[in-house]
Amino acid sequence: MSKIIDIKKTTVKFLKETINCDDVTVIKIEKVNDIWKSVAEVYEDDSFLKSMNLPPKKIRLFYLVKIDDKLEILSFERHNTFEESSGTDGN
């Protein structure tokens, strides 16, 4: 069970440092073969509003983070919905 906690902590730390956000909630962790897949919910400033110098508004996004058994980040990608990030396509 401690491995799942390590994956969660690694995901949160990585996303906070990489996308510069304050609040990360891991909502799904699964192991497929030797790869851990972690899905996190993140609230970020809307980049469009930011680029137009309009008042900021938070939008909810999801990140899929793939981690190996050595807690090394293999990849991450941003999605607009949980369904996109949940990996239902088997990858």
For tokens 């980040």, what's the residue?
Answer: 73
State the pLDDT at residue 40.
97
55 belongs to a structural domain: yes
45 belongs to a structural domain: yes
35 belongs to a structural domain: yes
91 belongs to a structural domain: no
Q: In terms of DSSP bridges, do strands 58-67 and 35-45 run parallel, antiparallel, or are they unpaired?
A: antiparallel
Tokens of 30: 């699964």
- In tens, the pLDDT along 8-25 reads 999 999 999 998 787 899
Q: Does 89 have pLDDT greater than 50?
A: no
In this structure, what CATH number is given to the domain that contains residue 81? 3.10.450
Tell me what the pLDDT averaged over the chain comes to.
88
Query: Which domain, by its residues, includes 56?
Result: 2-85
State the pLDDT at residue 64.
96
Number of domains composing the chain: 1
State the pLDDT at residue 91.
47
Cα(57)–Cα(15) distance, integer angstroms: 19
For residue 16, the one-letter residue type is: K
90 belongs to a structural domain: no
- In tens, the pLDDT along 38-68 reads 999 999 888 788 788 888 888 899 999 999 9
Q: 57 or 72: whose pLDDT is higher?
A: 72
53 belongs to a structural domain: yes
12 belongs to a structural domain: yes
